[in-house]
Amino acid sequence: MRERARYVTVRTFDNVEAFDRWWDNRKHRWKINKRQRSPDKVDEYWRCSYAEEGRYFVCGCCIRIRKPTGAGGPIEAARSINVPHRHAVTGDMFLSMDPFPMETAIVVRVNIDG
């Protein structure tokens, strides 16, 4: 019997536009597996899709994208931690990154009229 995937959140997006910009560069490497609806969210499960010698395959590695059905909730992208890729991973398949540190700035207004 196959083990169920356990997911860990790797990216969170505050709005749909930010998520779409990020997902547009990665979507072609994944194939939708199933979509589950509940009153407060929609979970999409995707499987890794890759090509080898002109043939396309779907490997066991999976991700979950959790979208809220109401306005204002964050969109979460999570990867499976116990189901690895079954092929050589090239490029940025799904990269987990630490956030950049917060930077602050001081705004100085200069009046040159005197």
| pLDDT tens per residue across span 63-92 | 899 999 877 789 999 999 888 777 777 655
Give, rounded to a whole angstrom, the gap between the first and last alpha carbons of the chain.
79
Residues belonging to the chain: 114
Cα–Cα distances in Å, from 23 out to 8, 19, 26, 52?
17, 6, 5, 23
CA separation for the pair 107, 100 (Å, rounded): 21
Helix (H), strand (E) at residue 36: strand 30-37
The whole-number pLDDT of residue 94 equals 47
Q: pTM for the full model?
A: 0.68
Residue 113 has pLDDT above 70, yes or no: no
List strand residue ranges (DSSP E) for 16-54, in order.
30-37, 41-52
In this prediction, residue 12 has a pLDDT band, given cuts at 50, 70 and 90, of: very high
In this prediction, residue 93 has a pLDDT band, given cuts at 50, 70 and 90, of: very low
CA separation for the pair 9, 47 (Å, rounded): 16
